Amino acid sequence: MSPILLAEQVLNGLQLGVMLFVMAAGLTLVFGVMGLINLAHGSLFMVGAFAAAAVAGATGSFLLALVAALAAAAAAGALIEVLVIRRLYDRDHLDQVLATFALILIFSEGTRWIFGSFPLYLNVPDYLSGPVTLPGGIQYPLYRLTLIAIGLAIAGGLFALISKTRLGIQIRAGENDREMIAALGVDISKLYTIVFALGAALAGLAGALVGAIQSVQVGMGEPVLIVAFVVIVIGGIGSIKGALVGAILVGLTDTLGGVLLPELFKLFMDNSTASSAGSALASMLIYILMAGVLIWKPTGLFGAST
């Protein structure tokens, strides 16, 4: 395998990783602050993608589509937080799993009802399409490079938000002791709605950004949701830093595993067995990684030990 191909795959892994981070950040924040496990996070990803595809189809502007994705997902997030989610904070995890599973059913079928079963397409805008040449002669799609940049910018922004702003202080305080910050006069239910809507908006943005390189369809959120769970379990639930490290780790493992394992197996097997065994193992690799991390550290890499 040539070094250029390898470098491309590393970039692909990085791109997958940062998008997973944008998705996982909301999940881990919501869990860290509210103690809620939200299966419907994947539905917010889907809502973002559909809103973007609909607006891009109507106006032709990719930027407007991204704004629509953010707004629609944030609105949907705030709505379900007020109607359903806030009743679940002091319930056990089983109730949370079931109620958010019910929300998935409603969101998925609702979207199918509005948009139909056929996938929509969201095109990469002209100014971001085509390849760029990177140092070392690597040809790489500009759009994917932009995704990496946006993802890293969001990561930077989130760290600044958490460590530097008043909202960030409240979020961190909420993770530690929710009674105390309520006693100090912070409107805790408003804080929860804001955090939930923020996480939802990020999921929606990720949906729109990823929607441009795959098709926008009902059910697109759940595979991503489950990988995002793997990410936050590896990183430690509640930790933004853990989500970033976990996301990059999962992105690289998944992408490189898919390319390298069949090659590796070819060294000691015939070609067709090697490619099928290699790809079968590669599809399980991130789960094996997760199991390995949990055996070593049962609360994830950066999780608070209980």
Partner 1 sequence: MKAERIVNTSVVAALVLFPLWAWMTDAPFLITLATKAVIFALAGVGLNIALGIGGLVSLGHAAFFGLGGYAMGILASHAQAYDPIFNAPFVLEGTKSMPVIWLVAIISSGLAALAIGALSLRTSGVYFIMITLAFGQMLYYFSISWPAYGGEDGLSIYVRNSFPGMNTLDPIQYYVICVALLFAVLLFTSRLARAPFGLALGAARQSPLRVKTVGISPYKLQLVAFTISGMITGLAGALFADLNRFVSPTMFSWQLSGEIIVFILIGGTARLFGPVVGAIVFVLLEHLLGGLSEYWHIYLGLLLLLIVLFARGGLIGLLAGKERSHD
Q: Which residues bind partner 1 (CB under 8 A)?
A: 31, 37, 39, 84, 87, 93-95, 97-99, 101-106, 108-110, 112-113, 222, 226, 229-230, 232-233, 237, 276, 279-280, 282-284, 287-288, 290-291, 294-295, 298-300, 306
Q: What is the DSSP letter of 214?
A: S
Which pair of structure tokens corresponds to residue 91? Answer: 């319930």
CA-closest candidate to residue 40, choices 63, 14, 73: 73
Minimal distance in Å, beta carbon 93 to partner 1? 6
229 vs 302, which CB is nearer to partner 1?
229
Q: How far is the CB of 221 from partner 1 (least distance, A)?
A: 12
| Closer Cβ to partner 1, 150 or 264, answer by number | 264
Cβ distance to partner 1 smaller for residue 5 or 280: 280
> Which of 73, 54, 77, 74 has its CA nearest to residue 64?
54
User: CB of residue 223 vs partner 1: minimum separation in angstroms?
Assistant: 8
As given in the structure block, the two tokens for residue 97 are: 């799993």
Indicate the residue among 101 and 118 with the shorter CB distance to partner 1: 101
The CA distance from 204 to 202, in Å, is 5
Question: Residue 254: CB partners within 8 Å, gap ≥ 6?
Answer: 13, 16, 227, 282, 285, 286
Cβ distance to partner 1 smaller for residue 187 or 263: 263
Contacts of 298 (CB under 8 A, 6+ apart): none
CB of 96 to partner 1, least distance (A): 9
Q: How many angstroms separate the CA atoms of 226 and 228, rounded? A: 5
